[in-house]
Structure formats: structure tokens, C-alpha cells
Amino acid sequence: MTSVTGHTSARLRWAPWAVFALLAAFPLVAPLLGLDFYVGFVRRGMVFAMAAASLNFILGFGGLAALGHAGFLGVGAYALVALADAGVRSAWLLWPAAMLAAAIASAIIGLVVLRTRGVYFIMSTLAFAQMLYSVAVSLRAYGGDDGYNLFERPAFGLGLDSAHEPTFYWVVLGLLALVMALFDRAGRSRFGHALAGIRDNETRMRALGYPVQRLLLVAFVVAGAVAGLAGALLVSHNAFISPATMHWTQSATLLVMVVLGGIGLRWGGPLGAAVWIALEEVLKHFTEYWHLPLGLLLIAIVFVAPRGLAGLLATPRGTGAT
Amino acid sequence: MTAILFFEQMLNGLGYGLMLFLLAAGLTLVFGIMDMMNLAHGSLFMAGAYLAAQVQGRSGSFVLAVAAAVVGVALLALLLEALLVRRLYGRDHLAQVLATFGVILVADDAVKLVWGAAPMMASPPAALSGPVELLPGLLYPSYRLVILVAGVLVALGLYLLVNHTRVGMLVRAGASNRPMAEFMGVRVDRVFSGLFVLGAALAALAGALLGPLTAVQIGMGEEILIPSLVVLVIGGIGSVRGAFVAAMLVGMVDTIGRAFVPMALRSFLSPTVVSDLAPLVAGLATYALMAGVLAFKPAGLFPARG
Amino acid sequence: MSHFRVAGLVKRFGALTATDGVSLEVARGEIHALIGPNGAGKSTLVHLMSGLLRPDAGRIELDGVDLTPLPMEARTRAGLSRCFQITSIFPRATVRDNLLLAVQACSGSSLRLFADRGRETRLHDAAQALAERVGLQSVTARIAGTLPHGAQRQLDVALALAARPKLLLLDEPLAGMGAEDSETMTALIATLKADMAVLLIEHDMKAVFALADRVSVLVYGRVLVSGTVDQIRADARVQAVYLGTETA
């Protein structure tokens, strides 16, 4: 529904394309500017953009405030680690497997948590994500609390060298673009409209005959699967995984990213992720107590910009036609 | 497995459950009456632990430490409520989650500024460092016994407060129907502040008592928050009785998961398998309980609002 | 012949028995009005029939199909639609989007994630037809929440009509309406007779007497009496119940 996504003014519609071009060019330009280090940094930002976009799908469209999304990042990551450890090399096997593992985890958890709504939903997603965290901590085979190194990246085939940093960067960029395009289509599909309807008036949707529980579960699983992919990419980026990636505070951070960017707005996830990660990085340069300004900023956002940054850019709702 | 070991573990589970109750009771009241989701509750627990450790370190008196922790955090909570929390009543839960998460971030770094990043050591008072013989052959640490007693006393106190005082009646009325309570002239804002401070005091007490047993460190609030929320979800929002029952259940299930199931597994599985499986089971036990409860009662065991 | 039947419905809330053994029938093409003083349990009955609440006892049947164990969404697919006493639409969406959502529910699966719904001309045609049916064709591009009260209630009815119900539950459709809006709504309801059975819960006696084929009077959760409009008007017990209440 256009009234949900708002209608970015004509001036800004080229912006995503421009950003994509800039991102694609960055690894080529960076060495010339002495910014080599930041290629990895931007890559990490893109992975979190993907994760945040998947959370925005259920939060913005479905209206489900899921506070346990990082759990599915972790499931995807550990699935990749387990399979890579067992000898699977190809990215084309590893990534779908990571997504499948995350999808299964979100299906099982979804069946339980989607029986609840409102605060019970928030709290039970939180609790089950922490459950996944404690499972990860107990996995001594993969380092438990200390974490696990995985230096070898999945092989892309097609003559590409996944160990080459810019190559991996472009693959991540490509996947992010694909994910955003798919979410965009989903938003305009029957499913997307139905989700938005559930968010706006669940009882009426049931009265209209929609299988609401089933639709929410599908959304939950799709979002979980994409988070799993992001988790798999994160492991390869960091060459390391630890349960800390799945701690509930990480889920809260993802939520912050989505709200910062703008809930339900098409670019809310990536925008919020980019800004938050950039802020973290900048603040870390100035002080070791960087949580403090971030925390204060968060409180400020709640009162000053509840619709997030993308909300400030979109025109008032309701001016678009179908 | 001997009966002695069984009792000892049961007492541990009871103690853990009672401490969770202290945390959950404050949460459920704030939640039930003000419909306020406060993630920073764990930070109040942490503040209590740090204050107690600090005061005990300086003065040597455990009683003074606990008192200072409770009073100090209560004052802190009063300030927090006046400055921030009361502006969150009536906001949607997502906004409350975000703002209180912001408080967690600020609190973690504030603690780091004052006390540094390294964990602080707190120890039980010398008088309580020895064991007590409860039954022939059953030696139980006297400090843990004190925690049990304190927990039971607080539970009794809360029960009396909620069920046998005017304030408690107001609380129960507010939990089940806030607009109506306001309508009937309840000084809602004073009740709110009072409840928030009471919840904070309970959390600080739990922090002060548990400090000597666990590590006093940044992030301890985030760790204890989840089990507290699990208790809240199982018990039902707004119900102190629900929080108590749920806390007892969680304490028992956690103990069973940590102590008894590995013992049972060891009888028919190899030790290596058990040592891998045991932590897994321990971690999953309480969540399985929560899932089980939610499957039949999505609003918890004793939800205050129907 | 569409036959909607409710037999022995009971619903208790703790010590309160809101619905105390209600039985009634609605034949196809009939407008059956349900009236009664406030607190009689009309809303509870509607919730029981539509599936929002589960009865403690009793049976709900449409066209021979037992609806009682079915959840709300399944009852709609079985032919029972309802509208809401407190307008329940999608206020942030356009009227067209509201209607599209209603039409989408009964024309195939919503588990389609990739096809752009904007290209489904049949859905859009159906939504347009629905708008014309209730008289909202001139405002399809407006945001539903900005419509005047009467138009919003028309939309509420339109949403229920999308599923081509066999039985339509109208829960106080004239609630909060002025004279002109009431006439429009009454005229609309009159046109529905041709296609479906209607169970009309209403306070507005003028509309009830104009529209109803049969009337049932609900008091304290029980049906006091059922009959034609004239029979009900003449019934002494009904007059006693309404003594002091204004009738048109």
C-alpha cells in the first residue's frame, strides 16, 4: 500500500541508484584515497543492512515487533560454520543451507510466539532468541562462548576468488541489492498488502477470511531466512563467529536500526543500519565510552524522530495513487 | 543420587527462583499498572550489586551495604522516573523498548566510568561464610540460607501489601482496569512513581544479595533480564501471584535442567556425550517451559487482565 | 435455499450469562432484525455467530454446514460475513485499497510474494464494482480515515459484501448516523435482500420497521419473542420492555 511506504519525492527517486553506483565503485576508489580499511567496514554495513531490511519486513509490514531477530542471524552463521567444517565448500550450497536452517528455526519458534501478540510477543521473541544464544554457548565443538574462527570463505565458482576482498564485497552488494529488490516486490504483492492489512486491523482481516496466522508465519520465516543469509555472510566477513552475535542486545540493536531508518519505509532497514554503524565507528574514535552518547541518542530519537530518518524524507502519507 | 544432594539442589533452585521473583515482581507491577515495558530493570539490579559491593568494601558492613544499595537505587529510580519513564507511559511498546534500551547503554558506560570495566568482587559477610547443618548430613551455605529467608520475607511482604492494604487494592484495580481506577480518583501518578521505585528497590535488593554469589560486572543486568521476562511471560502480566508461581516453576525447572537431567543422562549415555548435551539441556529447560505455557495460555498463567 | 440457524447458544463470562440459550433462524432473502434494550447481549451474540467468541454450548449452522467449530476466517469462507458496530476499516489506506483487500481475500491465495498486485485487473474491476454497489465510486482515491462517518460505515458494509456472503451480519449499521445517511444506508440494505440473508442488529426502529421481514427481541440474553413486524409491534411484552425507550 503506497500509503504505508509513503511516496518519496521525485528528486529522491534516483537516490538508491546513485547509492548503489557509489557502493559499487567504492572498492576501486578507496585505495586511491587511502581508505582501504573502510572497504571491509562498508561491507559489514551492507550485511547489517540486509539483516535490518529483513526485520523491517516483519516489523514494518507485519507490525510484529520482533525482539529476537539476531537469533536467526546466528542460526545461519553457525549452520554455515558447521557445514564448512564438515567439508562443504561451495557458496551455492552453504548459503541456501544457512537460509534453510534459519527458516526452520524461525518456523518452529514462530509457531509458538505467533500465538501471542503485543508485549507477550515482544518478550517471547526476546526469550527464544536468548535460548538460541544459550544453545550456541553450549556448542563446545564450535568454541562455545569463546567463538570459532573460519578463515576460508565459501567458494563462489565462476572463476571468482572469494578470498579477494573486493570480490567478496561485490558479491555482498549484489546479494543486498537482490534482497532489497525482492522485498520491494513482496511489498507490492498480494502477500505484502495482506501483511499490511494485518498490521492495520488484524480482526477485520480475519473477518474478511484471511488465514492470518499462516500469513504471519510465512512472513516470520521469510524474514528469518534472509537474516540467516546475513548471518552466513557475517561469518565470512569476520572469519569468526561467536554467540555474542546472537545476544538479545544485538537483536535490540537491529530493532534500533530499523526504527532509526524508518519502520515500514522501503529503505528504512539499510538506512538505519548505515547510520547506526557509522555512528558507532565515529564515536569509537573519540571515546571508549561510546555506548553513552549512543544511548542518549536513542532516547532522543524516541522523542524527536519516532518515524525515523526515512520518515523525515518521505512526503506526507496518502498522496500516492495505487 | 542421594537425598542430600537432591535437597541441596532444590534449595538452590528455590533461592534462584526467589531472586527472580524479586525482579519479576517489580517488572510485573510496572507492566501491569503502567503498561510499561522497562528493559532497564536489569540495570537497576546491576546498580544495586555495584553499590552494595562498593559500600561493603569501604565499610565492611554487609547490612549497611544492602541498605545503601536499596536506598541509593530507589533514589536513582525516582530520578529516572521523573525525567524519562513518566514520559513513556502511553507510548507504544516499541518506543518504550528503545528508550529503555538507551538507558541500558548509558548505564553500562556510567558504571564503566565509575568502577572500570573489570568485574568487582563482593563477598558474603564473614559471619555467613560457613555452612549450616539443616538436616543430618545436609550442610548448606548459611549465606544462601539468608537469601532464601530474605526472599520468603519479601514475598510475604508483597503478598500482604497487594492483598491486604489499600495501596494493594489500588494496584490490583489499576492492573485490571486503569481508566476505571483513574476515574475513581486514584492519584495515579503517585501510585506509578511509588510502584516504579518499589520495583527498583526489589531489583536492587536482589542485586545486593546475589552480588557475592555471582560476578559483579557490566552486563549482569542484561543477563538476568531475560529469565525475569520469562517469569513475567509465564506468570502473566500484572499478577504478583503469577510472578511468584512462575518464579518457583522457573527456579525448579532450571535446577532440574542443570543438575538432575545430566545425572539421569549419565546413567545411560557416555560421559563425553553428556558433557556436551548437559549445558544444552540446561539452557533449553526454562524456554521449553515457557513454550509449553504459551502453547496453552498465551497470556500467561494468571493474567491480571482477562 | 440458504438457511442460517442458531440453536441453544450459551455464553458465560464468569458469573454473568450473556447469552442464555438463544435460538433463531434466517431464511434466504429474508431480513431478520434483532432488537432489544442495551445490555441484552446483542453484541455477544454477533461475536458468537461470527466466530470472535466461542460458545459454551449451542450450534451455528449455515446451509446445513456446522460452523460452530470453525474460526472466524473459515466462517467467512463458508459464507458468513459481518460488519462491525464500531467501524472497522483500514483507515490509513485509500478506499480502493480497502476494497481490494476485501476482494483479494476471496479470489485466490494471498501467498503470492512476487507478482505485483497492481497488475491484477480483475481484482481492480471487482473492487470498482463493489464501490459502485455501495455508492462509494466517487471517493475511491480518498484515504478511508478522512471520509465522513456515514461513508465509513458504507465502506464497512462493502468490505463484508466482497465475499458474496450467504448470510450477512449487520451490527448496528446505522450507529451514529444522521437522517440522510440513515436513509442511504437503509436503501442499501434493502437492495441486499436479493442476494443474501441478512441478520440486522439495530436500535433505529424506523429502519427496522422499514426493512425487516421478521423480528426477534432479545432481552437478558434470551429471545423473548419472534415474529413479523406487526406482531412484534403489537406484542404487550415487547412494549413493556421498551417502555420509556423512544420508538420512531
**A chain contacts of residue B237, beta-carbon cutoff 8 Å:** 119-120
pLDDT of A38 higher than 50: yes
A 97-136 residues inside an 8 A Cβ radius of B: 112-113, 115-120, 122-124, 126-128, 130-131, 134-135
Residue range B189-209: average pLDDT?
91
Question: What integer pLDDT is reported at residue A318 of this predicted model?
Answer: 36
Q: Does A307 touch chain C (CB under 8 A)?
A: no
Among residues of chain C, what percentage have pLDDT more than 90?
66
Range in A41-55, B31-45, B85-99, B124-138 the model is least confident about: B124-138
Give B167's contacts (C-beta < 8 A, 6+ positions apart): B161, B191, B194
Question: What integer pLDDT is reported at residue C148 of this predicted model?
Answer: 94
Residue closest to B42 by CA, chosen among B237, B271, B240, B219: B219
Other C-beta atoms closer than 10 Å to the C-beta of A236 total 27
Nearest Cβ partner for A291 among B105, B230, B283: B105
* B160, part of any domain: yes
pLDDT of B101 higher than 80: yes
Strand C80-82 relative to strand C167-171, pairing: parallel
The confidence band for B5, taking pLDDT boundaries of 50, 70 and 90, is confident
Question: What integer pLDDT is reported at residue A320 of this predicted model?
Answer: 32
C 21-80 residues inside an 8 A Cβ radius of A: 50, 52, 71-73, 76-77
DSSP output for A69-97: THHHHHHHHHHHHHHHHTT--BHHHHHHH
b/e map B158-180, b = 16+ CB within 10 Å? beeebeeeeebebbbbbbbebee
| Distance, CA of C131 to CA of C99 (rounded, Å) | 7
At C134-150, the pLDDT tens digits run: 999 999 999 999 999 99
Beta carbons of B298 and A115 less than 8 Å apart: yes
At A234-250, the pLDDT tens digits run: 999 999 999 999 999 99
Q: State the cell numbers at A260.
A: 532509526
Strand order in the sheet with C222-228: C80-82, C167-171, C197-201, C31-35, C214-219, C222-228
* B268, part of any domain: no
The rounded mean pLDDT for chain A is 88
For an interface test with A, give the residue of C80, C87, C90, C123 to mutate (most A CBs within 10 A).
C90
CB B11 within 8 A of CB B22: no
Strand C31-35 relative to strand C80-82, pairing: unpaired
Name the residue type at position C36.
Answer: G
A 211-270 residues inside an 8 A Cβ radius of C: 211-212, 214-215, 218, 222
CB A69 within 8 A of CB A195: no
Range in B151-155, B166-170, C38-42 the model is least confident about: B166-170
The confidence band for B4, taking pLDDT boundaries of 50, 70 and 90, is confident
CB C91 within 8 A of CB C145: yes
Angle between helices B188-210 and B62-83 (to 10 degrees): 140
C16 backbone dihedrals φ, ψ, rounded to 5°: -90, 125
Beta carbons of B103 and A299 less than 8 Å apart: yes
Beta carbons of B102 and A306 less than 8 Å apart: no
Give me the number of domains chain B comprises: 1
The rounded mean pLDDT for chain B is 87
Other C-beta atoms closer than 10 Å to the C-beta of C62 total 23
Residue closest to A273 by CA, chosen among A220, A230, A315: A230
Question: What integer pLDDT is reported at residue A273 of this predicted model?
Answer: 95
CB A249 within 8 A of CB B43: no
CB B196 within 8 A of CB B30: yes
The confidence band for A313, taking pLDDT boundaries of 50, 70 and 90, is low
Q: Does A316 touch chain C (CB under 8 A)?
A: no
Q: State the cell numbers at B275.
A: 558433557
* B276, part of any domain: no
**C chain contacts of residue A7, beta-carbon cutoff 8 Å:** none
* B179, part of any domain: yes
| Distance, CA of C121 to CA of B224 (rounded, Å) | 55
Residue of B nearest to A257 (CA): B98
Residue of A nearest to C50 (CA): A207
pLDDT of A322 higher than 70: no
DSSP output for A140-156: GGGTGGG-EE--SPPB-
Domain boundaries C1-79+164-248, corresponding CATH code: 3.40.50.300
Residue range C218-233: average pLDDT?
89
Positions of CATH 3.40.50.300 in chain C: 1-79+164-248
The confidence band for C243, taking pLDDT boundaries of 50, 70 and 90, is low
A263 SS3 class: coil
At A153-210, the pLDDT tens digits run: 888 888 888 788 888 999 999 999 999 999 999 999 999 999 999 999 999 999 999 9
Residue range A112-124: average pLDDT?
89
Q: State the cell numbers at C115.
A: 507478482
At B115-129, the pLDDT tens digits run: 999 998 888 887 777
The confidence band for B176, taking pLDDT boundaries of 50, 70 and 90, is low
Beta carbons of A200 and C90 less than 8 Å apart: yes
| Distance, CA of B291 to CA of B110 (rounded, Å) | 36
The rounded mean pLDDT for chain C is 90
At B30-41, the pLDDT tens digits run: 888 788 889 999
Beta carbons of A203 and C143 less than 8 Å apart: no
pLDDT of A315 higher than 70: no
| Distance, CA of A275 to CA of B30 (rounded, Å) | 33
Host domain of residue B83: 3-217
A 229-258 residues inside an 8 A Cβ radius of B: 247-249, 252, 255-256
For an interface test with C, give the residue of A1, A184, A195, A208 to mutate (most C CBs within 10 A).
A208
At A255-289, the pLDDT tens digits run: 999 999 988 888 889 999 999 999 999 999 999 99
**Element housing B180 (H / E):** helix B178-183
DSSP output for A206-260: HHHT--HHHHHHHHHHHHHHHHHHHHHHHHHHHTEE-GGGGSHHHHHHHHHHHHH
pLDDT of A2 higher than 50: no
CB B106 within 8 A of CB B233: no
Beta carbons of A189 and C101 less than 8 Å apart: no
